[in-house]
Structure 1
Amino acid sequence: MIDPQISEWISQLLRWVHVITAIAWIGSSFYFIHLDLSLKKREGLPPGVGGEAWQVHGGGFYNMRKYLVAPPEMPKELTWFKWESYSTWITGFFLIVWVYYLNAGLYTIDPAVRTLAPWQVPVIGLGGLALSWLVYEGLCRSPLGRNDVALGCVLFVYILAAAYAFTNVFSGRAAFLHTGAMIATWMSASVFFVIIPNQKKVVAELLAGRAPDPALGKQAKQRSTHNNYLTLPVLFLMLSNHYPLAWSSRYAVGIIGLVLIAGAIVRHFFNSRHADKGSPWWTWGVAAACIALAIWLSIIGKPGNANMADVQTGVTPATLTASFDEAVLTIQSRCSMCHAAEPVWDGIPVAPKGVRLDTPEEIARHAELVRVQAVLTHAMPPNNITEMTPDERKAVATWLAQKDAVLR
């Protein structure tokens, strides 16, 4: 068995490398989408060049040109942009295995949703990712793939259907993460199975002295465009595990749909602006409305309620002390095995996020975190692994509500 401290370091290093590679992939993806849209057709360009752009960065000037199909002959050196994508997916794969599969009982299996054996978690998770890629690939290659708008609508519905399926087998946190991983798998697999192979076919045709098929570039461009519009929603889903108000809501699938729309429409603004087709500022209003609606759904759909306790305006110091003592007893019995100076839960070397709940002083200090994690949502204990009862949550809510009444 791996020492918990070493395990924690492995988790942090995997996450670090994953973020670094994701920055590289997203940066290059956004850059080339911007470049492609900003190219201008000018007189005097060589045959086959669709446009050029002059750019300045780091004290240097750059003249960028794009060939509609390929240059008449291959250059001696050619840079391929692929390892940013591959490295992001590979590190993400190891991270999901390390955190969500090897610690399935803590983060992925929620008995209130479905009782699973630990071995079933990776089978369902990885099987779902593989199946979703086959569906995505089939839709893109079907006659539907010739209509970008229709294809986008069908993919939107499919993502929501997959998210609904994940929420019915995994914890809310793991369901959001797997929905994001599913989309990220489409994006990286498109690079591996479509974009790069098509570019290699173009290169092979050029070396053989034949004209490449323009359909190869068109197909690759479609996948690249999908990646562009899906990037922002994927980032939200990947970061959501730290913020339970979204994934713990009973309207979690609707929240995912709203985030998909908001992220895509923000990208539409930048794509339009970079292509000199105007700045559709209305997109920001629509995106803001989507996020506002998502926030509202998270609030009305939360499993807990800050006002579970019937708080009277005449709260006395005695009643507040009594409610605090009861809350302390509950929190210490259900939370302090992890959130302590020396955690006793197997695999937890230090208190998660440095939050200790083993003394009354520490509990009072972290009252707002307790409110979000155990009252407004049921994110903690994770998957209710210590079996915190509704009455115990009500006791904590009573203390928090009475404390608020005194402060008012």
Structure 2
Amino acid sequence: MSRWVTADAVIECRDALAMPGAVDRLVLLRRMRIEKGEARLRLSLDPWPGFGLGRVRDPRLEGRVWTADVGGLRLRLDGAHQAARHPETGLRAEFRLREGEQQDLVLELSERDSFEPLDPEQLWTRTRETWLQAVPDCSGLAAPCDARHAYAVLRGLTSSSGGMVAAATTSLPERANTGRSYDYRFAWLRDQSWAGLAVAAHGPHDLLDTAVRFTAERVLADGEGLHPAYTVDGGPVPDERRLPLPGYPGGSCRVGNQAAGQFQLDTFGEALQLFAAAAHHDRLTPEAERAVTVAVDAVERSWRRPDAGLWELEERWWTQSRLSVVCGLRRVAEVLPGGVGQRCADLAEAVFAQTRQRCLRADGRWRRAADDDGPEVALLRGHLIW
């Protein structure tokens, strides 16, 4: 919520993405209310699809709803039927509101023709109800407000297909004035697994189930060729490319991410830990159990290969990648008895023995890689394994 205070008025503006959502449809809600006095509010809508490659030039009013085609998307705007179309500045409107009055705007972008009513009251009600159901009661935790906020953020980053984006940002520089920027609007299986593990530490919850489902589907589909990252609907991440637009100060503007094409061994380890946590809560689906076998097969064939590692660098024999796999195999061995569990236990010991021989120094500290004695913060968990 935003709140503006002027000499003549107090204005509150609430924005929300309508819930429940869909991967092929976005609905943005905006509610402006005058708490005190009177105010004149102006609207400007000038979409430039394709990251600025084109612009919307033919919006048309159908009843009380503006519609347009936007680079393969269908746009609808409700709540501004009095807007005027300007060739150079898009749609422009002005609202004059008195104390207690409000104005609702609903903007829809969809990959398909949508005929659902853009009723703001109904959309706000459904959004509130969905969030109340999505965020569990955390009153038994040490910091319940913070825990609920964390759940809300994780749920907000998760699409209806189950894919959880690492962050809703693109072209954000790693450091100021370095010129390097990255597109994080994709689902890294490592991040998704860690989020699922955090939820599992609290208890069984829908976010654990969606993480397991999305990860299992990717493992079953790609096996040994598992990618570190996917689009939120499970598709391939596009190649990284630079856009002819200014980025965040100090960085360029880029979309796509080349890391998705790397081999990162630790992704299998994190996925196995997630599956084990689900099994601990009796939430391991038959599909996920099949994915365990596929992941173990892939580890057995690939753990000796150099990989790009957690930090997505050059291919080397990274210590953290092997210890992640050891941890995942051991957790699965604990929760899946029988042949699968014994196989995981045996493989874990084989990987650990070789990793200890190549990556553990005489003083008991793990090397960053087999050929690198440098420190590595990601190895703090490695000490727990050791």
Q: TM-score range by the shorter chain?
A: under 0.3
TM-score by length of 1: 0.23
Higher fraction of strand:
2
Q: Which has the higher contact order (CA 8 A, sep 6+)?
A: 1
TM-score by length of 2: 0.24
